[in-house]
Amino acid sequence: MSLEVNGHKTYAYTGNHAFDACLPTVIFIHGAANDHSVWALQSRYFAYHGHNVLAVDLPGHGKSAGDALNDVATFADWVKALMDAVGIEQAAIVGHSMGSLIGLETAARYPAIVTRLALVGTAIPMPVTDALLETSAANDHAAYEMINVFAHSPRAQIGGNRLPGAWMMGNSMRLMERSANGVLHADFTACNSYRGGLDAAKKTKCPVLLILGQRDLMTPPRAAKEAAASFSNARTVMLDGTGHSLMSEQPDAVLDALIDFLRPKNVTAA
């Protein structure tokens, strides 16, 4: 689906299904230097099982035009504008890494529009190392190289892809390399500067699911512990031996957790 949000062309993958106002909607939000394709399995499943799906390309990412945003609150306002452009009043939000912060801030700022919130590979707050900030600011390929190593568990770095012939590390690198100059730094700036996460967690009233990777070096599980305790209605699923790239390392486990959390009988207003 192509639509206009805040004056810019925006792309959202819908699973090749037309929007049906009678169905619940799930918005999938990707992380830094990624696009909608990281949700290929999960978004397609829900599109074929009773949901509208909007797996978005954030501004300046993938097929979406406009400048990359560098502030989580501005991203949250963009999600609200996206929903207004599509014509939906409520949706469940699933976000990975930076996308989890965007989903969290959206739920806190606009509690009436978020029915459920799934945070995948999250840390609250989500500081970024000086090395990554500096290399991304210089558009240095080393930033992608560091992320690629940090984001995958040891098992994923030597193989383990469920798809024969597919290379997790190579696929991830090619996706990041498609980003325009400045996009990764803008994303990292948004993550690093977001300081309102714990307050947002306390304000969030909808049900929350945290899906964490036990071997995640980018957003270690311990970095989500305080936030998990701050939500009024949250539970956590821990995936053993999994790094930050949860949707590629453990696609079925992530999908199973989301199915249990977002099944139609559970998708209700908070």
| Dist. CA 267–CA 219, nearest whole Å | 28
**What pLDDT is stored for residue 266 in this prediction?**
42
What is the amino acid identity at position 48? Y
**What pLDDT is stored for residue 228 in this prediction?**
95
Helix axes 168-177, 142-150, angle to 10 degrees: 140
**What pLDDT is stored for residue 21 in this prediction?**
85
| Dist. CA 206–CA 263, nearest whole Å | 15
* Residue 163 CB neighbours (<10 A): 10
**What pLDDT is stored for residue 214 in this prediction?**
97
| Dist. CA 170–CA 157, nearest whole Å | 10
**What pLDDT is stored for residue 155 in this prediction?**
85
| Two tokens, residue 20 | 């049906």
pTM of structure: 0.95
Residues forming a β-bridge with 119: 95, 210
**What pLDDT is stored for residue 66 in this prediction?**
96
* Residue 89 CB neighbours (<10 A): 11
* Predicted confidence (pLDDT) per residue in 191-214, tens digit: 999 999 999 999 999 999 999 999
**What pLDDT is stored for residue 157 in this prediction?**
87
**What pLDDT is stored for residue 265 in this prediction?**
55
| Two tokens, residue 227 | 């936030």
Q: Which CATH class is domain 2-266?
A: alpha beta
| Dist. CA 80–CA 71, nearest whole Å | 15
**What pLDDT is stored for residue 47 in this prediction?**
97
Number of helices (H), then strands (E), belonging to the chain: the values are 12, 8
Residues of the chain with pLDDT under 70: 160-166, 264-270
Instruction: Tell me phi and psi for residue 17, to 5 degrees.
Output: -120, 140
Specify the 3-state DSSP secondary structure of 219.
coil
**What pLDDT is stored for residue 32 in this prediction?**
98
**What pLDDT is stored for residue 270 in this prediction?**
37
* Predicted confidence (pLDDT) per residue in 106-154, tens digit: 999 999 999 999 999 999 999 999 999 999 999 999 999 999 999 999 8
